Amino acid sequence: MTPAKPRTDRILEGQHLLGIETLKLAEIEALLGLADRYVELNRQIDKKQSTLRGRTQINLFFEASTRTQASFELAGKRLGADVMNMSVSASSLSKGETVLDTAMTLNAMHPDILVVRHHASGAPDLLAQKVGCAVVNAGDGQHEHPTQALLDALTIRRRTGRIEGLTVAICGDVAHSRVARSNIILLNRMGARVRLVAPSSLLPACVDRLGADVFTSMAEGLAGVDVVMMLRLQLERMQGAFVPSTREYYRFFGLDQKKLSRAKPEALVMHPGPMNRGVEIDSDVADGIQSVIREQVEMGVAVRMAVLDALARNLPGGGNA
Amino acid sequence: MSPDTALRGRPERRAYVNAAIVDPSQGLDGPGGLIVADGRIVAIGPKVTAATAGTSTPVTDCGGKLLFPGLIDMRVFTGEPGNEHRETLASASEAAAAGGVTTMIVMPNTDPVIDDAAIVDFILRRARDTAIVRVAPMAALTQGLGGELMTEIGTLQEAGAVALTDGRRAIANARIFRRVLAYAHDFGMLVVQHVEEPTLSSGVMNEGEQATRLGLPGIPAAAEVIMLERDIRLVELTGARYHAAQLSAAASLNVIRAAKARGLPVSCGVSVNHLVLNENDIGAYRTFFKLSPPLRSEADRVALVEGVADGTIDVIVSSHDPQNADTKRLPFSEAEFGAIGLETLFSAAFGITRSGNVPLTRIIEAMTARPARLLGLETGTLAAGAPADFVIADPDQTWKVEDSGLRSRSKNSPFEHHALEGRIVETVVAGESVYAYDRR
């Protein structure tokens, strides 16, 4: 055991990463800078680091997510942490155990980092108040998905060299999207101009006050933009009468070449995945030359490594680097 | 208080002198005293002093503090029967006494539901045996609060129900609500509605920027206004006495004003929470601020305070709703609605006499004479002959709300750690002191 000593290379001010909302611009830029280094590392043959050696990371997923969980697992393992995945099914919650009960049980096992995905907005905030370790929000309800916004920013920045001054259109089911909320906040903070393009039934109240121009037509909303970010349309949205059918949705809001042609010729096409091809995005566009969707997945691992590294530096005992 | 005010048993006769008496039922607002005997008020006014009380009458000197009728809280949820771990009639009554509430109107949302004369009788007997303040139940409007089958309204009234309500639930079906209103009208019973259109109320907080930021589904103010406007049409159709339990939105006030201007038998209430707090108090998902109807914007709050001041809003309630860890220590969207409030009712309401320029007489009227008149109670007044239910309060004392000091069995107070102005120092029910503030 090395004695606790204050680290001079802190990146994050807080103990947890619960959302973009609480991050300052300098913190975001430092995280992206660190993530850049991890991108290079991940492309080497020897990817193993000892930064988190001895640390225990628990991925606590109350909502199934193969991609995000895999990304966090790989990020933790590459940094040398012991990673445990816990999927809490709806059935064990229905036995009466609350999210706090589960978290307190895990807390007693002395994890260093708890990565939480939960279907209720604010669940990671609740956990962070009660556990001793660092909490990473891996997506909570319709609130935030901070690592997704960070990986999107990293993808854009590496492609275009900047974020400030860009116009980014976020299209689709904004009302139910934590990805949209985190991105609106982060892109604003970094000096981009954000547009939201969606039918009014999929726009939350007063969303313009979060810092976005709102459009209900793809042709207008995509005109001249630098980045087109598509959101996944949950197929159960038809039930709540948010939209009439996938067919009509695709017709008016699905991204195809024709709609994309309104954007700048070199505009990037992004999607947080998993995609509904033929609903919110056409396969030609998803796999086309403007698409950076697979790159987003690569950036995801690097960003999560940066987040885990940064949080470990703030843990008692600091990082091992 | 001097030790001799720690009374046991019903006192034969006692004078309370040197008080600042506020009794809106008689237009009293000034120095004076009162004399109680056999649980009733026998004399009141400026002429009641230590000198005039008579040498054989024990005297309590109120030291110039406020003295007003015991508060009537028209909206109290307890857990008895069914959820006694959250609150019993006894524990709620302890909190009530400490908050200056001498009559609790309890809601029928219990398990079993108060939808049958036998349950009304059970509540009244349990209250008589265990509670230290008066308790009167509102009975359910529909069986099992199901919103479909009418309860035995006449029988419930005979058993002692003071009004009818489905409590937290609105009766959404217009046809059924119309019939319930028409039938209740024949008995002169007040029908109390939770004004929220259920199909627009699946959210968990006020719809708007704050809900969008928190990623929480919102409840638009229109959910309340739509229900209120519909109900008022049905009142017009039936002539029934109608009371909107709690308003939360500024837009509702004009609906009430218009209905009153047309002479309809319409009244409304507001919870003290909605007069003091707003949606921003939710902060980072603080579930103690998850209320139904939801806390709304600051503009709504200010409008509600004005509504109290000008009398558009008749009644202030605590909407005391005990919830504990099993229902509140959850993610915001999964937590129950509700906050306790009996013990903080007066102090929280007193705050708006200073911050909102609402006259103290109006605040007290909204918790005494008005609810008494709506419910046909003989309390809520200090008139000679009335039951000796009254409160002494120190307007200059500030106190800090800490959950460890609260008497309710549940601790979900939105005022936890708040400093409140105005403290109840003694509560008297039927001439008997049921609470005296211990300065230690």
Q: Flag if A122 and B284 touch (Cβ within 8 Å).
A: yes
Q: Flag if A98 and B329 touch (Cβ within 8 Å).
A: yes
Residues of B in contact with A206 (CB under 8 A): 208-209, 212
Across the beta sheet with A56-61, the strand order is A82-87, A56-61, A113-118, A134-140
CA distance A40 to chain B (A): 35
Specify whether the CB–CB gap between A71 and A297 falls below 8 A.
yes
- Residue whose tokens read 């726009």: A203
Nearest CA in chain A to B220: A205
From the number of C-beta atoms within 10 Å of its C-beta (0-12, 13-18, 19+), residue B342 rates as: buried
Instruction: Report pLDDT for A319.
Output: 52
pLDDT (tens digit per residue) in A65-75:
899 999 999 99
**3 state DSSP class of A34:** helix
Instruction: Report pLDDT for B323.
Output: 95
Instruction: Report pLDDT for B264.
Output: 98
Nearest CA in chain B to A184: B213
Instruction: Report pLDDT for B113.
Output: 97
pLDDT (tens digit per residue) in B263-287:
999 999 999 999 999 999 999 999 9
Residue A98 has pLDDT above 90, yes or no: no
Element (H, E) at A220: helix A218-221
pLDDT (tens digit per residue) in B89-148:
999 999 999 999 999 999 999 999 999 999 999 999 999 999 999 999 999 999 999 999
Instruction: Report pLDDT for A172.
Output: 96
Instruction: Pick the more confident residue, A196 or B356.
Output: A196
Closest CA to A77 of A318, A305, A307: A305
Tell me the residue length of chain A. 321
Question: How would you classify the pairing of strands B59-61 and B71-76?
Answer: unpaired
Q: How far is CA B346 from CA A145, B70, B420, in A?
A: 43, 10, 10
Q: Please, how many CA atoms are within 13 Å of residue A82, restricted to the half-sphere of its CB?
A: 7
Residues of A in contact with B212 (CB under 8 A): 181, 204-207, 209-210
- How distant is the alpha carbon of residue B1 from its chain centre? 27
Specify whether the CB–CB gap between A82 and A104 falls below 8 A.
no
pLDDT band at residue A4 using 50, 70 and 90 as cut-offs: low
Of A98, A125, A204, the CB nearest to B212: A204
State the distance between the two ends of chain A, measured CA to CA, in whole angstroms: 14
pLDDT, average across residues B168-178: 96
Question: How would you classify the pairing of strands B66-69 and B390-400?
Answer: antiparallel
* Helices marked H in B215-344: 222-238, 250-261, 272-276, 298-309, 325-328
The percentage of residues in chain A with a pLDDT greater than 90, rounded to a whole number, is 83
Tell me the residue length of chain B. 440
Residue A138 has pLDDT above 80, yes or no: yes
pLDDT, average across residues B212-239: 97
Instruction: Report pLDDT for B9.
Output: 43
CB pairs under 8 A between A and B: 71
Specify whether the CB–CB gap between B424 and B69 falls below 8 A.
no
B90/B187 Cα distance (integer angstroms): 31
**3 state DSSP class of A266:** coil
Q: Flag if A126 and B329 touch (Cβ within 8 Å).
A: yes
B308/B89 Cα distance (integer angstroms): 29
Element (H, E) at A312: helix A293-313
Closest CA to B212 of A65, A237, A142: A142
Q: Which residues pair with B33 in a beta bridge?
A: B45
Nearest CA in chain B to A185: B213
As a whole number of Å, the CA-based R_g of chain B is: 21
Closest CA to A58 of A124, A119, A136, A126: A136
Does the complex come out with an ipTM higher than 0.85?
A: yes
Specify whether the CB–CB gap between B429 and B134 falls below 8 A.
yes
Question: How would you classify the pairing of strands B28-37 and B134-139?
Answer: unpaired
From the number of C-beta atoms within 10 Å of its C-beta (0-12, 13-18, 19+), residue A213 rates as: middle
Q: What is the DSSP letter of B295?
A: P
CB count within 10 Å of CB B395 equals 15
Q: Flag if B285 and A140 touch (Cβ within 8 Å).
A: no
Structure-block tokens of residue B427: 């509560």
Instruction: Report pLDDT for B288.
Output: 96
pLDDT band at residue A95 using 50, 70 and 90 as cut-offs: low
pLDDT band at residue A61 using 50, 70 and 90 as cut-offs: very high
B352/B347 Cα distance (integer angstroms): 9
Does B112 sit behind a cis peptide bond, omega within 30 degrees of 0 on the bond before it? yes
